[in-house]
Structure 1
């Protein structure tokens, strides 16, 4: 089984997290902030109704304070050519957003975000003429007059937001956007009043804070998202950040919301391999320096961790953006004593941030209704219309199908041939850095029990056993593909499932056939330090080179590669092979793939592309690469060459029913095995359950 993650000890009550807090301008009902996360509903005024439904559900679920996705104060600062901008037209449509939140007794801020050189269009502008790795366009240098106009635009946009009913605004000064670009010497080399030393570099953020405070008046809340660690060479020092924080509060900022790392930083800050609350000591340091409330963020997705952060005095509020994407009713469940039923965010980024960076609407892998509240609706059924539903297979698709059907009011029985639930997700939880996947399975267990789902483990039903049901949902998943390769002795040949389940022990020289997501995971499993740095923050920061942000290490990061310290990495020769000519790991997520590729590179994993497999014998694995035949003298070959759907049961039930019930639905890997797309599988499960 995966190594269980440490949890703070104590009862499952949350007195600190659920206590109200007076922010000066108004009181919030608890310490839970839904931090800013762009979902793609912000960009068009026509989507205001969908945005209202999305944010309104989080307000009804009990979030104390909600911050919208970022809205630019002007055209120059838009993230994309048609990106969100706080225009009169857009914010008139947002009256329904603020009304929806206020009717649920919530509070909401509009975030003002200027992309700077992150703009994905030719109008972008920054402190200097430069291009970031996130955009193909080179930003122009803002003139002195242009800086002044930008300050005015922030103030005007803030005024419009308050007029639209927002309780205030948040100024985005973190993550490497425009204000962060003015603050860091690596991007601000100006010689005028908006540069020329640390005081000049912070002049623009301070001017914007003052102008926005004057524009929104005394009753509205002003939050500033401040970068505590830039994590890029040439970033800010701690002393500069502290001076900025003092200046912001002097100019009327009510709350400091903390951000960690630029989007182009080469240190992960939010993916699942980052330890829980990894950067909270930085937040605590800021809280000691200022007298306004401070919001902690980054990988504080577990309510128990959040409670501990508050109890220890490290912060005043907790930002839980992705957790509230996963479960909009998280605060209400904590208040009602249903904490074990909270839908666990696994910080995978697959359906949220990866989608945003691809220009698509964001949702959530474990909650496909997120961002689709008006389109994917689970309507309750009366007892008279309840159907008897059998779900066969307890992988992610089967678990969610059973849960969604039961929550609608249907009578559901879940069959699983194995002795444990989880399917491929349970295997993934064995990978160092993905330990939190086990938390998702614990959440499903508790929610299935609460919904009254009957679970039969160790049971493989025959077609005749299912004829008494109205609906049969076949979620029997996949089986590893067997490769057609002559084997004549030599290395042991095992499947990835045998390896991860502990049924086979790898040797010291391993070849992995198949370099998709599972192949990359297996390579990390074979080489990652033990114990996993994810479980120990101090080891993780050493592993990634995170240090004190001072003059010697501006931005709080060293230039040495991750894992170059003696961190317990396994000394094993690993070859990762694929038939495709493309870069290994090219199909991984936009926000997570680079992390995996970095780990493999510094683990010394040897990549082989465009190979043809010939045979396995006593000499090893024979292959053709670059037109020449090679032999890898390995002692273990792990097969990760894809999967095939296991869906014979569907045909058997259809044949046995002879035109009568049950109706048969095939979902998840049993329907499409390609790439093991958990997001698609879970969404398909909810869609089928919604249609019963």
Structure 2
């Protein structure tokens, strides 16, 4: 589009023998649908919708090339004619909507969680209890043939090409890196030997699948593990990948075992584009793709415009909004439902064995199940509370044609989401509130801020949705009304300031967030790439600034602390708290609060924690005072979100409940 406000992002580009209309790639991510019986229909709808939304090149989740290469005993493979036939609807749906799609082929190597885990050398990964078996020469040759055979199956299924997974610490990457390849035969030792496997795979795939088949190679441009490939080897491998016949190089950042966050909220936007930029000059005629934490068209445009990469890959942002490309091309970035990098419904779901989705877009990966149509009988519906549950419900209700009035007692929308946006790394939450603000205006929702709903104000509506949320719970501790005590809402809203020594009561997700807020303040590491790299020691020694405050985190439960609610992000929070010297005290009995601070009992011993401030993060209580009088008056009432269940604040559940209710009302 000549008149787009993102001209570099929406410039055509040649990939293999195909010209793509823009520089966006939907990167690979596992959804759980790959292993589901009949999941091909849902994958077709999922990818087809992204192609219809303007993304020209899509990469599937990873499929193993043989049994040994599976991620686990039940993980998806792509190694039979029957599987290829079952996949035909997927590329067909993408092609019908104008896109191209590549099948990612991988071998998990020592990241395999099954009995026949194999690797170049018998070296156990720190994230796997099992030591892999060393591949024989014949098995390596057979694996190369497996990649070639699977690429032919992918072509037969209708895929436009494959992505060969050569990064993130999987098998091919294990061969190229000195730390995991201790072989002394022709597959190990010198760089020439260590890069023999990826080059052989590319050459075999090209020979088997033909000249028109797109080959994307996922190159680890930054291993972030001790003994990983040095830069000069990465550059030379890029040159050889191009010479071997790859049409495009995708960047890989960090191994799964790396103790540096690469896609979490702690990572600034576009934080690793510089690593791709270092490799780009090594390629003479094929494009290279930048990856990780590129979630807005503005940052994507900047990366392409400054020459750091030819294209940009987005996976989670296209979970959040299937029409990302279309909206950006039309100059409507404010209409994009932005990925907030929470991982709660995508990666966390996958590692729990659940189907992936998206916190801000519960339809993702459920396109055939979570649907709604325009209503034939519009109603006048009041939604009480403009937190995540109320906002999502109001949006879908209005989209369906109902007349929606949204009551909010505060001067702004967002509820608990708005409070959380004050936490370092969670500023992305403001993007969600920007999106909902746009939708409120676009859909003509009657938003009434600074208005506390009453039974009288609600009596004339056809239905009322109570999404009134929660208030912080005040635990029964002697002295809890002491002046040094405040709730997390007091602190995060700015109504109260904390002193230099702080005790945080409660180590759930909110307690962790509050501890990060107290120790790191407005740390540059969350939004400036240089500061992030220095804090986490990316390509340099780590430099940890002194904490803003002395914080003690206390909880009643026993066991490890600092994990938080996120399965794939909890370790990031814990490392950050350890870096900030937060003392973590589990299994505590709260005895009293007084001028001396917080007194607790630990295994029967009394301890006084001196502090200037105490922050309560001990749970929440539902606000449901309107429910009884409305029901007594005979009104139709629905309760969702925190008002329905006040356990650990859960925006994922709140938004999903709001959407589900609105879809059926």
TM-score (norm 2): 0.97
Structure-1 residue corresponding to 2:233 = 240
Give the 5 Å matches for 1:555-634.
558=541, 562-564=542-544, 567=545, 569-634=546-611
Contact residue 491 and residue 618 of structure 1 kept, 8 A: no
Structure-1 residue corresponding to 2:345 = 351
Q: CA deviation at 1:12?
A: 7.5
Contact residue 464 and residue 653 of structure 1 kept, 8 A: no
- Superimposed CA distance per residue, residues 272-314 of structure 1 (whole angstroms, 9 cap, x where no aligned partner): 1211111111212211110211111111111111011111111
Give the 5 Å matches for 1:350-369.
350-369=344-363
- Superimposed CA distance per residue, residues 625-668 of structure 1 (whole angstroms, 9 cap, x where no aligned partner): 122111112111111000011112122211123xxxx4211111
- Answering whether residue 478 of structure 2 is matched by residue 501 of structure 1, we say no
Partner Cα distance (1:610, 1:532) in 2: 34
Contact residue 118 and residue 177 of structure 1 kept, 8 A: yes
Larger mean Cα displacement after TM superposition, 247-256 or 79-88: 79-88
Picking from 183, 188, 207, the partner of 1:190 is: 183
Give the 5 Å matches for 1:216-255.
216-255=209-248
Give the 5 Å matches for 1:257-656.
257-291=250-284, 292-382=286-376, 385-487=377-479, 492-528=484-520, 530-547=522-539, 558=541, 562-564=542-544, 567=545, 569-656=546-633
Q: CA deviation at 1:25?
A: 1.7
Structure-2 residue corresponding to 1:7 = none
Larger mean Cα displacement after TM superposition, 372-381 or 333-342: 333-342
Q: In structure 2, do the counterparts of structure 1 residues 602 and 531 end up closer, same or farther at CA, with 3 Å as the change threshold? A: closer
TM-score (norm 1): 0.93
Contact residue 4 and residue 330 of structure 2 kept, 8 A: no
Structure-2 residue corresponding to 1:677 = 650
Q: In structure 2, do the counterparts of structure 1 residues 12 and 592 end up closer, same or farther at CA, with 3 Å as the change threshold? A: farther
Contact residue 4 and residue 10 of structure 2 kept, 8 A: no
Secondary structure of the structure 1 residue equivalent to 2:69? coil
Structure-1 residue corresponding to 2:94 = 101
Contact residue 518 and residue 548 of structure 2 kept, 8 A: no
Q: CA deviation at 1:596?
A: 0.5
Q: In structure 2, do the counterparts of structure 1 residues 467 and 529 end up closer, same or farther at CA, with 3 Å as the change threshold? A: closer
Count of matched residue pairs:
661
Output the aligned Cα RMSD: 1.5
- Superimposed CA distance per residue, residues 17-65 of structure 1 (whole angstroms, 9 cap, x where no aligned partner): 1222121321112111100011011124521101111111111111110
Larger mean Cα displacement after TM superposition, 110-119 or 278-287: 278-287
Gaps in structure 1 of 5+ consecutive residues: 1-10, 548-556
- Superimposed CA distance per residue, residues 73-113 of structure 1 (whole angstroms, 9 cap, x where no aligned partner): 01111111111101322221111111111000110000001
Contact residue 389 and residue 411 of structure 1 kept, 8 A: yes
Secondary structure of the structure 1 residue equivalent to 2:114? coil
Q: CA deviation at 1:622?
A: 1.2
Partner Cα distance (2:374, 2:393) in 1: 15
Partner Cα distance (1:526, 1:341) in 2: 33
Partner Cα distance (1:634, 1:491) in 2: 12
- Superimposed CA distance per residue, residues 144-181 of structure 1 (whole angstroms, 9 cap, x where no aligned partner): 11100100000000010011000011101111111111
Partner Cα distance (1:499, 1:595) in 2: 23
Picking from 148, 158, 162, the partner of 2:141 is: 148
Contact residue 491 and residue 634 of structure 1 kept, 8 A: no
- Superimposed CA distance per residue, residues 196-251 of structure 1 (whole angstroms, 9 cap, x where no aligned partner): 12221111111101101111101111000111100011101111111111111111
